[in-house]
Every structure is written in C-alpha cells, then in structure tokens.
C-alpha cells in the first residue's frame, strides 16, 4: 500500500462516515421533532444564533446604506436551512480532509523501504 491508495481509502472511509452521520442526524431530528416533541431547546438555540446574525446584518446594512429589501433573505426559512447545511458542509470538509490525510500518512508509513 502506498500513499495514494491510503489517501483513497481514507477518503472512502470519510465519505462513508459522513453519509451515516447525515442519515443518523436526520433520523434523530425527525424522531425528536415529530415523535418525541423535544426540539424546543434546539429551536431556541438556533433562533438565538440567527438573531445574532440578523443584528450583524442590520448593523452592516445601516452603515453601508443597503436597502432593507436586499437583506430580507436573512429572515427567511431558506436562510435557516442554508445556515444548517453550510455548517454540515464545513464539518464534512474537515472530516474528509482529515480522513484522506490520515489515510495518506498511513499509506506512506506502510510503504516498503528499499534496502539500497
């Protein structure tokens, strides 16, 4: 096994990990919201984060003379969904990078050395 094969194995492991993490998070979210009705704390935490972003955007818009119509997207449900998806995308990128680098280093360490 060399560095490239180790990197590929690490990438596949990272992709598999992120797939199962996404499925388990989605299933947990649906069960918590629809069956157990226990998402109030999460909703409050998300509302607080979104409110902080809205305050920052409004401050920036007032200092830069941006019309209110241009910042209306911050108040939409699409923005909330985008915010969550981008957080998961950043987490995915970090996990995939670390798993690929870890696989490549493992492959490099397992490469036979020449006795010359």
DSSP string spanning 89-114?
A: HHHHHHHHHHHHHHHHHHHHHHSPPP
Q: What is the pTM of this model?
A: 0.68
Answer positive or negative: Cα dihedral of 99, 29, 49, 66. positive
pLDDT of 24 reads 93
Question: pLDDT tens digit string along 43-80?
Answer: 788 788 878 887 888 788 778 777 777 777 777 788 77
How is residue 67 written in tokens?
Answer: 């019309």
What three-state secondary structure class fits 1? Answer: coil
CA torsion angle 20 23 26 30 (round to 10): -120
């Amino acid at each position: 096994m060399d560095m490239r094969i180790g990197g590929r194995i690490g990438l596949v492991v990272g992709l598999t990990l992120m797939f199962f993490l996404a499925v388990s998070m989605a299933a947990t979210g649906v069960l918590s919201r629809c069956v157990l009705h226990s998402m109030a704390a999460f909703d409050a935490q998300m509302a607080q984060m979104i409110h902080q972003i809205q305050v920052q955007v409004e401050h920036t818009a007032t200092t830069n003379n941006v019309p209110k119509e241009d910042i209306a997207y911050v108040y939409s449900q699409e923005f909330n969904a985008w915010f969550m998806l981008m957080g998961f995308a950043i987490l995915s990128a970090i996990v995939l990078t670390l798993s690929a680098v870890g696989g490549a280093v493992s492959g490099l360490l397992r490469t036979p050395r020449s006795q010359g």
